[in-house]
């Protein structure tokens, strides 16, 4: 571990801790650079403080990869060599588990036959993981999805130690507005939040795009026509927050529809984008409607689309940041959008714990139209509904909210 670095506690840690003492392997999935390794570092420190035996292994180190690939017994040999008492429980933290030749077989053998070894593993390439993992792990693993920072976490990383309580003073509201706008512009990568200089923030996001998004994804997915893939990425970034017409996209990028669909699957599996389906009571009709596309990180979109970090926030970038906040708070499969044939539209429909909640989002409260939401409320007889913005004058009304009030909808 890099002892000199501060290891911040992420919100997901409390959920993971609940499963530390059972027999299942814990697996963390997520895009690169969203902080999975530092979650392992935090767990290592937490378990050490609890008096547990902990062994961290980075499988990007080919020496360890070679040994662990030989199988669980060789892992036991490594533990013995490093002074661990294998008659007692040992927590083994495996970073970048997708590098194992047969991770499914390895985890299955450990969980079934090496009861004193508790595996906590993370992997970045879901494309690669899905190639190697099989359904035989069902019942042997607990899976967590790791995303970039939520705004609450961003505040902690920025050293803003005051809790987000009901904002009473205008001073505090203005502080939070300024911080949220920074959060939208630069996105939610943990390292970006910790960099003070704007120029360095932009350079780091560009590095993520070039190294992890363009190169990593296309290499893992064995994409041969790099130019067309990059063109598709740029076209998609300009459409974040909009309904995606795959036929039009294929024509624009001069790629076959089948290839576009393949690339979309890869990007979605890699936690770069999410295709959000329309809300319908009739699920059968939902399957035949066009999705909306969102990127998980608003800073990433800015760099992919505009090639620079802009000074001003665009409306669809703000909407993308709100989508990302909803995902981190309520789960990526809880979010839909709604649109009628006569073009009544609501940005987000949240389905959560038997609740259906429409949320209309605009950069400025003055731009919000309430008619579609009120039509939806009457049609579906829902009680909760919200109008969300960051700028302009907010009505003193429980239905008008700032982004940081998303955490307390229920």
pLDDT tens digits in sequence order for the chain, 410 residues long: 444 578 999 999 999 999 999 999 999 988 889 999 999 999 999 999 999 999 999 999 999 999 999 999 999 999 999 999 999 999 999 999 989 998 989 999 999 999 999 999 998 766 666 666 666 677 789 999 999 999 999 999 998 866 676 667 888 889 999 999 999 999 999 999 999 999 999 999 999 988 878 777 777 667 778 888 889 999 999 999 999 999 999 999 999 999 999 889 889 988 999 999 999 876 555 545 899 999 999 999 999 999 889 989 999 999 999 999 999 999 999 999 999 888 899 999 999 988 999 999 999 999 999 999 999 999 999 999 999 999 999 998 999 999 999 998 98
Task: Take residue 267 and report the two structure tokens written for it.
Answer: 């990007």
Biggest distance spanned by C-alpha atoms of the chain? 69
pLDDT value of position 342:
83
Query: E-assigned strands of 76-189?
Result: 90-95, 117-123, 141-146
pLDDT value of position 125:
60
Contact by Cβ (8 Å): 149, 12 = no
SS3 content of the chain, % helix, strand, coil (to 5): 50, 15, 35
From residue 60, alpha-carbon distances to 7, 66, 87, 124, 337 in Å are 21, 10, 28, 12, 40
Tens of pLDDT, residues 351-364: 998 899 999 999 99
Query: Mean pLDDT over all residues of the chain?
Result: 90
To the nearest 10 degrees (0 to 180), the angle between helices 298-306 and 226-238 is 120
pLDDT value of position 213:
81
Sign of CA dihedral 357, 361, 365, 366: negative
Counting beta carbons within 10 angstroms of the beta carbon of residue 174, is it exposed (0 to 12), middle (13 to 18) or buried (19 or more)? Answer: exposed
Contact by Cβ (8 Å): 140, 111 = yes
Pairing of strands 355-361, 386-388: parallel
Contact by Cβ (8 Å): 124, 36 = yes
Tens of pLDDT, residues 20-66: 999 999 999 888 899 999 999 999 999 999 999 999 999 999 999 99
What does R_g of the chain's alpha carbons equal in angstroms?
23
Give the C-alpha separation, 224 to 215, whole Å.
11
Taking Cα atoms as reference points, which of 81, 75, 82 lies closest to residue 105? 75
pLDDT value of position 280:
83
pLDDT value of position 1:
46
Domain 12-146 in this protein, CATH class: alpha beta
For the chain, which residues make up each domain, given as ranges?
12-146, 152-408
What ranges in 18-60 are assigned the alpha helix state H?
36-49
């Amino acid at each position: 571990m890099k002892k000199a670095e501060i290891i911040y506690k992420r919100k997901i840690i409390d959920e993971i801790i609940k499963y530390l003492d059972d027999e299942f392997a814990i697996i963390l999935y997520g895009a690169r650079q969203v902080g999975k390794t530092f979650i392992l570092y935090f767990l290592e420190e937490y378990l050490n403080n609890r008096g547990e035996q902990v062994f961290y292994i980075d499988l990007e180190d080919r020496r360890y990869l070679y040994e662990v690939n030989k199988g669980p017994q060789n892992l036991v040999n490594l533990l013995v060599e490093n002074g661990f008492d294998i008659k007692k429980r040992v927590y083994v933290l495996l970073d970048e588990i997708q590098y194992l030749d047969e991770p499914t077989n390895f985890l299955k053998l450990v969980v079934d036959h090496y009861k004193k070894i508790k595996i906590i593993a993370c992997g970045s390439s879901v494309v690669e993981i899905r190639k190697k993992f099989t359904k035989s792990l069902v019942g042997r693993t607990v899976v967590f999805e790791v995303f970039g920072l939520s705004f609450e976490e961003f505040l902690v990383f920025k050293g803003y130690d005051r809790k987000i309580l009901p904002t009473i003073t205008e001073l505090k509201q203005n502080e939070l507005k300024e911080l949220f706008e920074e959060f939208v512009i630069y996105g939610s990568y943990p390292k970006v939040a910790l960099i003070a200089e704007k120029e360095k923030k932009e350079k780091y996001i560009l590095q993520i795009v070039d190294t992890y998004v363009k190169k990593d994804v296309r290499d893992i997915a064995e994409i041969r026509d790099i130019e067309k893939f990059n063109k598709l990425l740029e076209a998609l970034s300009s459409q974040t927050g909009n309904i995606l017409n795959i036929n039009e996209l294929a024509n624009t990028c001069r790629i076959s529809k089948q290839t576009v669909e393949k690339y979309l699957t890869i990007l979605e599996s890699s936690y770069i984008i999410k295709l959000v389906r329309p809300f319908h009571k009739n699920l059968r009709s939902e399957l035949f409607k066009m999705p909306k596309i969102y990127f998980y990180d608003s800073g990433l979109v800015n760099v992919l689309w505009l090639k620079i970090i802009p000074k001003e926030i665009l409306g669809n970038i703000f909407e993308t940041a709100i989508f990302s906040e909803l995902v981190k708070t309520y789960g990526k499969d809880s979010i839909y959008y709604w649109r009628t044939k006569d073009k009544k539209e609501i940005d987000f429909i949240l389905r959560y714990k038997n609740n259906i909640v429409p949320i209309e989002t605009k950069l400025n409260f003055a731009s919000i139209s309430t008619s579609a939401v009120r039509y939806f409320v009457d049609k579906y007889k829902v009680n909760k509904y919200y109008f969300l913005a960051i700028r302009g004058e907010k009505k003193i009304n429980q239905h008008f909210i700032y982004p940081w009030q998303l955490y307390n909808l229920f």
